[in-house]
Structure 1
Amino acid sequence: MEQKNIFIVLGMARSGTSAITRSLKALGIELGDKLTKGREKWNPTGFWEDNEIVYKIHKEIFSCLNFPPYGIETPDRDQLLSEQLQYIRNFAIELLKQRFANTCYWAFKDPSTVKLLPFWQSILDELAIKEHYIISLRHPLAVAQSYHRVTGHDIEVGLLLWIAHVIPAIDETLRKKNVVVSYDLLLQKPKEQLERIKNHLAIPTLTKNLEIDFYTNQFLDKNLQHFDGKVDLQPPKQIINFCMKVYQLGMQLAQDEITSEHEAFLSSWQEIKNELEEIYSVYCYVDKLLKRIHQLENQLRNINKSIAWKMLYPLRKVDDLLRARRKDIRKLNRLLKAY
């Protein structure tokens, strides 16, 4: 039986995961026909996500575990391998069998996958499917700014989520077949990066050059790279400094200046993990507070837009006037007493 190969794209939302997933299609790797359509605000060129992976597996896992999918905390390994998720596991096994029915090369992506890697890796081991990981890397401020633009969340939330996606994506795949790809380098030199992905993951020639030409010349849109490095975002120094430490080390991998087996990398990576361990609980607390503030702001906006609030506007104005008059009367009383 021919070896089945799966290619899983990992990375934070707004970091180029869709463009990288589409590059795999250009290399001849199947994505299936149950893909989520793009949306003008989020991804006009398409998400390239398998609907059933996202909605029938990932969202179901988070719901079953009563776990927030968009925070920086991650379900622990025991939860993801528990009997509680057996019915989802069975569905995932059948889905993989369907996806590989007519191909030996298939890929999927969903930013939340990084939280669920133990779930997937145990299934892939059981089915003897060979794992390959592509980690999308983009400047943390670019990701946070883009995330803020489409969700309204604070820059700090985007940075914390960036940390929560990038570090485990690299750490959980160090001993697997993986490659770190810079989104910026992909836009600048797409053919070079496609060749690099192909070489790192030992992908055979599965498609004609026309597919690659279409991807590099027509699909990729450099105008979608909106980050303006001149914008003064002023995030907390502790968070951005830590992000930049991770990003710079990741870029060394993305530029093939160092390998993940290199002693210098492993030493620097361990320092990053140690630092994260020290501040992780604080980051989780900050993340919850920032999201709670965002939730309350949305609720306040909805109240201000409500019909009831608008109908009460005249009464509120009368109340404001009465309060002002009472204040004036109190001032007059104080003046009279002074005389």
Structure 2
Amino acid sequence: MAEQSTVLLILGMHRSGTSALTRVLNLCGVDLGTRLMPPAADNNQHGFWEHLDAVDVDERLLHHLGRSWWDTRSLPQGWLHAPGTASLRPRIGALVRDEFSGSPLWALKDPRLCRLLPLWLEELKAAGVQVKLVFMLRHPEEVTASLARRDGISAAESGTLLLLHFFEAALASAGLPRSVVTYQALMDDWRGCVGRIARELDIALPLSEAVEAEVERFLSPSARHHHAAGQSPALSGSLNGRVYRLACESGDSAAFWAGAEELLRVWRMYQQDFVPYVNELQDMLAIRAAMERREAKPLSAAGGGDTLSMTPLTHLQFRMITGLQDGVGRLGQAAADVAATVVQVGTESAAGLSGQIATAVTAVHESLGSLRQDLGQVSAALENGLQQLAGQAAREQALEARLAALQQENAGSAASQERGLAALKQQLDGAAELAAARQEQLGTLLATAVQRLEAMELREQQREDRRLGRRLRRLLSGK
């Protein structure tokens, strides 16, 4: 690797304009390598400009970690030193050596880099490459609309993904040379964006008449399908909106990162108070989703013809979940970026938990000889489920207390926060009522299991009595 080799890491959320920015830099002389992802007519017809080997490393790593690009959970603790991570480290070094050993200035673009940046920084440093970063930001409403159209992702999920992609990358890249541009600025004045990146990162991005003509042909306004108003509600209170507005209003990247310190402080608070709660509930939902994807195979009870399968969602559960999905993510405060997801996941978790316990109850009917042992296992599962519900209630109380503190801290937006907190409290009350209903239903399931056990034991005793009667008749008849 040449001593002066420099890589530009293009960082940004999916659908934020990183493809357009990467291609513009490529036309200005930045090497992207030879193995690029092909365009997709129904997705990104002008090209992704992502190196296939880099994307493959990131996809494999997320798979090893039990995650995906659309997963809103935190990465597992200690992921940077996990065996799956270690197995992929040599591939990063091989990519640098095989594709860019003769390139003084090259770039990698993959939105997954935002969350996996610590690994790439370590391996690029080990390869002797100088790392500089370009952050690409787009109006949150445009990103949300694009993800909803392409992937069917909800506004709450998109908002949380935006938070994770920006703040995790911002924290991991602290102290490194980094420039920040917006998609709107690129479309309005791409020359100014290129000049700003070159100036702030101290790199050469020469322009010629031929290059300018090629860029003008590439940046077609028709490729942009979603437009959001500059001063929309998304920029007035949400944390994602504040990040984007800061990027629009900052004269240069130094001013942006200075202003972002306060936003980073808020994000660290979210990580401490909200993120663990979201992670736990989403882990439970992931288990439920896996169970629902499994092929439904009825279980036959030994000694009878009864069949049991997973209990479907009740009409009440379906109505509550659908209502939350329609309305979640609309609170205007910064806390709502994460809190709305907490509400959505918290309500759905009751249904997820009921599915797990219902599956445990069906184990009672697997064999007559192990009925007593199975019933004990069901009782333990029920007790554990009730403990989890109690723990959820405690965490919900802690969440309410924290939101109350946030309301006092943000006195300037007290009126709008009060509306958001009232909506959140209403959803939490609904979750508590659902949990109570599930507790009552679990008691009914246990009573039913006991009744079935007693009925089976009675049938067994009756069969034994009939056998003894037949033996007695044979003895009396002398046969």
TM-score normalised over the length of structure 2: 0.55
Specify the alignment match of 1:52 in structure 2.
53
Name whichever structure is richer in helix by fraction: 2
Paired letter, 1:280? V
Specify the alignment match of 1:319 in structure 2.
none
SS of alignment partner, residue 259 of structure 1: helix
Identity of aligned residues (%): 23
Q: Contact 2:7–2:105 (CA<8 Å) still a contact in 1?
A: yes
1:178 aligns with 2:174: no
Specify the alignment match of 1:132 in structure 2.
132
Residues 127 and 61 of structure 1: is their aligned pair in 2 closer, same or farther, counting only changes over 3 Å? same
Residues 267 and 26 of structure 1: is their aligned pair in 2 closer, same or farther, counting only changes over 3 Å? same
Q: Deviations over 1:235-268 (max 9, x none)?
A: 9x99x72322232233344x42852563x54234
Paired letter, 2:95? L
Question: What CA distance in whole angstroms lies between the structure 1 residues aligned with 2:120 and 2:144?
Answer: 27
Specify the alignment match of 1:112 in structure 2.
112
Specify the alignment match of 2:72 in structure 1.
72
Q: Contact 2:134–2:179 (CA<8 Å) still a contact in 1?
A: yes
Paired letter, 1:242? L
Paired letter, 2:16? S
Residues 234 and 7 of structure 1: is their aligned pair in 2 closer, same or farther, counting only changes over 3 Å? closer
Q: How does 1:158-177 map to 2 (within 5 A)?
A: 158-177=158-177
Question: What CA distance in whole angstroms lies between the structure 1 residues aligned with 2:291 and 2:227?
Answer: 29
Query: What is the Cα-based RMSD across aligned positions, in Å?
Result: 3.3
Specify the alignment match of 1:86 in structure 2.
86
Residues 65 and 265 of structure 1: is their aligned pair in 2 closer, same or farther, counting only changes over 3 Å? closer
SS of alignment partner, residue 78 of structure 2: helix
Rg comparison, structure with higher value: 2
Paired letter, 2:275? Y
Specify the alignment match of 1:220 in structure 2.
219
Question: What CA distance in whole angstroms lies between the structure 2 residues aligned with 1:43 and 1:293?
Answer: 33
Please, which moves more after superposition, 76-85 or 16-25? 76-85
Question: What CA distance in whole angstroms lies between the structure 2 residues aligned with 1:143 and 1:292?
Answer: 28
Specify the alignment match of 2:264 in structure 1.
269
Paired letter, 1:97? R
In the TM superposition, what is the alpha-carbon distance from 1:148 to its structure 2 partner?
Answer: 0.3
Specify the alignment match of 2:252 in structure 1.
256
SS of alignment partner, residue 7 of structure 2: strand
Q: Contact 2:133–2:178 (CA<8 Å) still a contact in 1?
A: yes
Paired letter, 1:16? G
Task: Tell me the matched-pair count.
Answer: 291
Question: What CA distance in whole angstroms lies between the structure 2 residues aligned with 1:291 and 1:109?
Answer: 29
In the TM superposition, what is the alpha-carbon distance from 1:36 to its structure 2 partner?
Answer: 0.7
Residues 130 and 77 of structure 1: is their aligned pair in 2 closer, same or farther, counting only changes over 3 Å? farther
**RCO higher in structure (CA 8 A, sep ≥6):** 1
Question: What CA distance in whole angstroms lies between the structure 2 residues aligned with 1:283 and 1:20?
Answer: 33
Residues 23 and 291 of structure 1: is their aligned pair in 2 closer, same or farther, counting only changes over 3 Å? farther
Question: What CA distance in whole angstroms lies between the structure 1 residues aligned with 2:227 and 2:293?
Answer: 27
Q: Deviations over 1:275-309 (max 9, x none)?
A: 4543324554687799999999999xxxxxxxxxx
Specify the alignment match of 2:239 in structure 1.
242
Residues 83 and 275 of structure 1: is their aligned pair in 2 closer, same or farther, counting only changes over 3 Å? closer
Question: What CA distance in whole angstroms lies between the structure 1 residues aligned with 2:281 and 2:209?
Answer: 48
Question: What CA distance in whole angstroms lies between the structure 2 residues aligned with 1:166 and 1:186?
Answer: 19
